[in-house]
Amino acid sequence: MRVLILAANGFEDSELLCPMYRLAEAGYQVDIASLEWGEITGKRGYKVAANLSVDDVSPDGYRLLLIPGGKAPAALRENGAVLELVRQFAAARKPIAAICHGPQVLISAGLLKGRRATAYKTVASELKAAGALYEDSPVVVDDIFITSRMPSDIPFFMKEIIRILSEGRGGCA
């Protein structure tokens, strides 16, 4: 059972590390993809190994895509391969979880129009402009999309992610 975290330099450390460890604890193999294979560094200096380049990834074999926030989504949303990968996960009906600024990648991929979603408060107007139905809640689940606002929401975010994965949504891998 595999899950994919999509991140880049400047990720919000807790929003990558807490889900990574929680998913591993639940028995999932966690892969990290970035714009290039190699080490990426969080806003607070934590380093993680991106064992995959976004160009080398497809949704096949994954149960979930998770996009942490921080400054990384600003770089990710400008990359065509990233947007295509996110659209492929959505087309395959695999759960996509995004926290803080992570929903910006979903906005750029054109996936949130008419969907309920949340994000960090500075992203709320962008969600609304993209046609999303913004909710100021710790976690919002709408179909395959799981969104959260900030690091303090991680317990709520992870509870929903684990629940959805345990229900078998996202196919087998």
Residues in contact with 98: Cβ distance below 8 Å, sequence separation at least 6, in sequence order = 66, 67, 69, 105, 106, 119, 145, 146, 147, 148
DSSP state for residue 70 in the 8-state scheme? B
Contact 121, 153 (CB under 8 A): no
The two beta strands, 139-142 and 145-148, are: antiparallel
**Cα–Cα nearest to 145, from 92, 104, 106:** 106
Active site residue 101: yes
Set 63, 101, 115, 149: catalytic member: 101
Catalytic residue set: 101
